[in-house]
């Protein structure tokens, strides 16, 4: 999963780009739900939120480091549950 750091300026451009609905406005800054973020695996070659963020504040979340296989399994789980 990726994460949003406190550099976030709450511009809201990332939220609509997420194919998994993983991004939402948090109490102070935007947040990513690690259970929904597949790093865009299954949808796109590159993380879409990283592509659009004007302040480049969406790195990998060291607390939620996952392999491509794990991310793809998460994608399949999300797709099968909707």
35 binds ligand SF4 (CB under 6 A): no
By beta-carbon proximity to ligand SF4, the closer residue of 13 and 77 is 13
12 binds ligand SF4 (CB under 6 A): yes
Within the chain, residue ranges assigned H as helices are: 48-52, 68-80
| DSSP H or E run through 24 | strand 23-25
Residues 6+ apart with CB under 8 A from 74: 35, 38, 41, 66
Q: How far is the CB of 43 from ligand SF4 (least distance, A)?
A: 7
Q: Which residues ranging from 61 to 80 are in contact with ligand SF4 (CB under 6 A)?
A: none
Q: How far is the CB of 7 from ligand SF4 (least distance, A)?
A: 7
């Amino acid at each position: 999963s990726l994460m949003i750091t406190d550099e976030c300026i709450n511009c809201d451009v990332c939220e609509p780009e997420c194919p998994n609905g993983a991004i939402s406005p948090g109490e102070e800054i935007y947040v990513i739900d690690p259970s929904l973020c597949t790093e865009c695996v299954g949808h796109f070659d590159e993380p879409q939120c990283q592509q659009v963020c004007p302040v480049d504040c969406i790195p990998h979340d060291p607390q939620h480091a996952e392999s491509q296989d794990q991310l793809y399994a998460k994608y399949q789980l999300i797709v099968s549950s909707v």
